[in-house]
Chain A
Amino acid sequence: MDGKNFKGWLYLLPAVIFLGVFMVYPLVDVLIYSLEESYNSASQSFTGVGLFNYSYVLRDPYFLQALKNTFILVMITVPLSTGLALLISVGLSSIKPLRNLFQTVYFLPYVTNTLAVGLVFMILFKKTAYSDGLVNLLINLFGGPSVDFIDGPYWAKMFVLCFYTIWVVLPFKILILTSALASVKQDYYNAARIDGTSKARIFARITLPMISPMMFYLIITGFIGAFKAYSDAVALFGTDLNAAEMNTIVGYVYDMLYGDSGGYPSYASAAAIILFAIVLTITCINLIVSKKLVHY
């Protein structure tokens, strides 16, 4: 090894050590656990090697419920939140008065604690002995029957979860998109205007392609973030998510490790690897699609 090469590795050493110990080793370990049948962490023993953990997890109704919940959450919140953020950012960048005020208002959820936000949603949606919640009051006002959003039907709970998730991820997306919009040079808009381009066409043919890298970034991170959702569900429905039918994949992994029915690291690892595979697949699809649509 020549001196130059050695020096390079020396500089990389701290990062390599930390990444190796805290990222690579656990990843490999999880993969190994997921293949070891009935592994016991206390005695460090297992009975065999194979895919049994995977077949168990994939047949577990709680996991299937979590999988379904996660997919619904992803498919609803990612497009909706990205679209809404785009709409709001475009609106924000086309107004002058009160722009800073609105920017602050839209950004507030980002700096607010998740559990505090959960509490606010409780007040909005939860049925208690004293009131049916603010939203139900509104529904009643228009003549509808009260709905129990927290302990009621599945669709109502899913609605609240999606609503909450969108509301929480919106500020970051708005922040990114407003700055992306601001970085598009005014000259392009001037040139387009002089050429008689309609507003809709300017948006579709100039604005969107110009901010497409940022849109793509938001969609990818949005997918990954939504697949890893857990704390949002806990904030709304408490820790016993299986009972509430509102578990997510990450929630299932947690329950398998530490929950009341927990203590099964092998099942947890298998579920985590399945999640990893799903996210990897979706991200790859995103990358392929983006090659065609994103302009750099």
Chain B
Amino acid sequence: MKVVLKNLTKKFPGRGKNAADVIAVNDFDTEIPDGKLVGLLGPSGCGKSTVLNLICGLLKPTNGQIFFGDDDITLLPPESRGVGMVFQNYALYPHLTVEKNILFPLQNFKGKDKLSKEEMAKRVKEAAHLVQIDSLLERKPSELSGGQQQRVAIARALVKLPRILLLDEPLSNLDARLRLQTREEIKRIQQETKITTVFVTHDQEEAMSISDMIILMKAGVIHQIGKPQDVYDDPKDLFVAKFLGTPPINVFSGSVKSGRLYIGSAPVLDAAGVRDGDVYVGIRPEGFVPDENGPLECGFKSLEVMGRDVSVVFSNENALVETPRAIVSAENRIDTSSPVIRFSLKPFKTLLFDKETEERIR
């Protein structure tokens, strides 16, 4: 089932006297394709959870419409929308066993949708099997680990075969190792069930690693939508470029003069067709190539060995980030005794942004 969000806007009344409305989601306009896993990504407070709550119906939009397929469900209450939702803290009913928790949504079916006892038991078993908690059915939620609770919450959301599955920060309460494992799990479950899934996260790595598509937003506005790799390689503006990638992109202040890009006084690359003037230069860490004759001269600070790669921490007076970092292959032997290191740059890892609008200059 595809989800269409049309000019979706949500305003909350401000606090205090004469306070202006807080615009949590502003003119949100996008289409989430059927059967895809979509990551809603942005810094905290950017309105991504609000979008999720609008889709599931716990919040009513101030303006705009929501469609599931061709049905306009904007005015439907949450119980009639047929969505499954996994809450950030799972919201498992503590007084019910795992089995009863998963059974709970099925017992709500009325009229012609009503299931027989055997049918319900079968569905619960299937859902439990899908998330691999078959052996935990008799336990209470308090007797489960965080990861197991997470699985139960997913099973509970899936058991009623929802049209859309929503996950609110699904991995934020798990430790690092479990997070890696669970995100693979979410991907697998989504691919097995083919249910259109939207998940919210502020962790770009998480979103990039499992999403078919990411929606990057900031302050209630969509900045860019696309496949994770496309958005990473081809960011629309400086915010997107900075938000994606670990280590983050290195930003320098530079300038373009008659078709050449300068960082400081060093002419680093050709920039044919770009208007003269000051620009932000964003260089991905993997865009640096150590080169004795390279144009960009930097102060060498330290070397962090990571095995396959090494990370070079350097300094440059034009850098706008505190510790610029280059990731280079370990095969490049870096002379750690020299105070200076020279780089040449890979053109397609070097991105230019307008100084005023922070939009990408192509």
Residue A99, interface by CB 8 Å: no
Residue B299, interface by CB 8 Å: no
A194's partner among B56, B95, B107 (CB-CB below 8 A) is B56
Residue B213, interface by CB 8 Å: no
List of B residues within 8 angstroms of A29 by Cβ: none
Residue A118, interface by CB 8 Å: no
Pick out which of these stretches binds chain A: B78-86, B201-209, B347-355: B78-86
List which B151-173 residues lie within 8 A (CB) of chain A: 156, 160
List which A164-214 residues lie within 8 A (CB) of chain B: 185, 187-188, 190-198, 201, 205-206, 209-210, 212
Contact yes or no, B79 A196, CB < 8 A:
yes
B80's partner among A187, A196, A198, A206 (CB-CB below 8 A) is A196
List of A residues within 8 angstroms of B56 by Cβ: 194
Contact yes or no, A188 B83, CB < 8 A:
no
Q: Which of B79, B84, B156 has the most CB of A within 10 A?
A: B79
Contact yes or no, A193 B79, CB < 8 A:
yes
List of A residues within 8 angstroms of B81 by Cβ: 194
Contact yes or no, B78 A193, CB < 8 A:
yes
List of B residues within 8 angstroms of A188 by Cβ: 91, 93
A187-B89, A201-B108 known; A194-B94 Cβ under 8 A? no
* B87 nearest CB neighbor, chain A only: A187
Q: How far is the CB of A225 from chain B (nearest CB, A)?
A: 27
- A205 to B87 alpha-carbon distance, docked (Å): 19
- A209 to B109 alpha-carbon distance, docked (Å): 22
Contact yes or no, B160 A195, CB < 8 A:
yes
List which B21-58 residues lie within 8 A (CB) of chain A: 56-58
A196-B105, A197-B108 known; A191-B91 Cβ under 8 A? yes
Contact yes or no, B95 A295, CB < 8 A:
yes
List of A residues within 8 angstroms of B91 by Cβ: 185, 187-188, 190-191
List of B residues within 8 angstroms of A212 by Cβ: 95
List of A residues within 8 angstroms of B107 by Cβ: 201
List of A residues within 8 angstroms of B57 by Cβ: 194
Q: How far is the CB of B22 from chain A (nearest CB, A)?
A: 20
B83's partner among A192, A194, A198, A201 (CB-CB below 8 A) is A194
Extra A-B contacts (9), CB below 8 Å, given A195-B160, A209-B95, A295-B95:
A185-B91, A187-B87, A188-B93, A190-B78, A194-B84, A194-B85, A195-B104, A196-B160, A209-B93
What is A's interface to B at a CB cutoff of 8 Å?
Answer: 185, 187-188, 190-198, 201, 205-206, 209-210, 212, 295
| 16 contacts across the A-B interface (CB closer than 8 A) | A188-B93, A190-B91, A192-B104, A193-B77, A194-B81, A195-B79, A195-B104, A195-B105, A195-B108, A196-B160, A197-B104, A205-B93, A205-B104, A210-B94, A210-B95, A212-B95
